[in-house]
Structure 1
Amino acid sequence: MKMNRQKGLAILLIFFGALILLNKFGVHTGHLFGHIAGWLFPAAMVGLGYLGLVNGRRTIGWVLIVFGGLILLGKLSGLIGIAIAVGLIVFGISMLRSKSFL
C-alpha cells in the first residue's frame, strides 16, 4: 500500500478517534493523551472553521474559529498569566535601571 499525505492524515485521525472512544468507555490511555485530547478538539474546531472559510461557508467557519479560539484561550490562560508576570518583572527592572522614567 503506497502511503501518501491523505492516507497518513486518515490513519492519524482514526488513531486519535479510537483513543478518544477508548477513553470515553473507561479504558484509560494515560494522562498524556487526556492532555493532548484537551488541546486537539479546540484546535480541530479552529482548523475546520478555517476550511469552512476557504470553501465559502463564512458563517459556520467564523463560528467554529471563534468557539475554538475561546476554548484555546482558556487553555492557554496559565501560560498567558506566566508571560504577563515575566513581562511585569522585566518592565519593573527596566524602570529601576533607568534614571528618569516617564
Structure 2
Amino acid sequence: MKMNGSNGLALILIAFGVLIILGKLGFILGPLMGYLIPIAMVALGYFGIRNGSRFWGWLILTVGSFALIGKFAGIIGFLVGIGLIVYGASLFKKRPGVY
C-alpha cells in the first residue's frame, strides 16, 4: 500500500481514537489522556499553519495552547511560588553599595 498524506492522517486519527477509547476504559496512560487532545490540537494547528491554512491553523493552535495552559496551571502556579520565594530571599542579601 502506497502511503500518502491522507493515509498518514487516517493512521494518526485511528491511533488517537484507540488511545482515547482505551483511556476511557481505564487502560494505559491514565491521567495523561487529558493532555493528548490539547497536544494534538497544537500539533495540528502548527501543521495547518505550515501547509497554508493560516486562519484555521492559528485558531486550532490558540485553542490547544489555552487548553494546555489550563492543564499546566497547577505546575505553573507552583513554579511562580518558588520564583517569588527565591526573589524575596534574594532581596534580603546585602549588596555592596546598596542601602
User: Shift in Å at residue 70 of structure 1?
Assistant: 0.3
Deviations 1:32-80 (A, max 9, x none): x232211111000000000100000000000001000000000111111
Preserved contact between residue 41 and residue 61 of structure 2 (Cα < 8 Å): yes
Q: Which letter maps to 1:95?
A: L
Match of 2:39 in 1: 43
Match of 2:57 in 1: 61
Structure 2 stretches of 5 or more lacking a match? 1-6
User: Shift in Å at residue 13 of structure 1?
Assistant: 6.1
Give distance in 1, aligned partners of 2:33 and 2:58.
22
Aligned partner (choices 74, 78, 81) of residue 82 of structure 1: 78
Cα RMSD over matched residues? Answer: 2.3
Give distance in 1, aligned partners of 2:72 and 2:23.
23
Q: Which letter maps to 2:40?
A: A
Which moves more between the two structures, 92-101 or 63-72? 92-101
Structure 1 stretches of 5 or more lacking a match? 1-5
Q: Calculate percent identity across the aligned residue pairs.
A: 42
Deviations 1:73-100 (A, max 9, x none): 0011111111111111101110011254
**3-state secondary structure, aligned to 2:64:** helix
**3-state secondary structure, aligned to 1:56:** coil
Shift in alpha-carbon separation, 1:68–1:36, aligned structure 2, 3 A: same
Q: Which letter maps to 2:52?
A: G
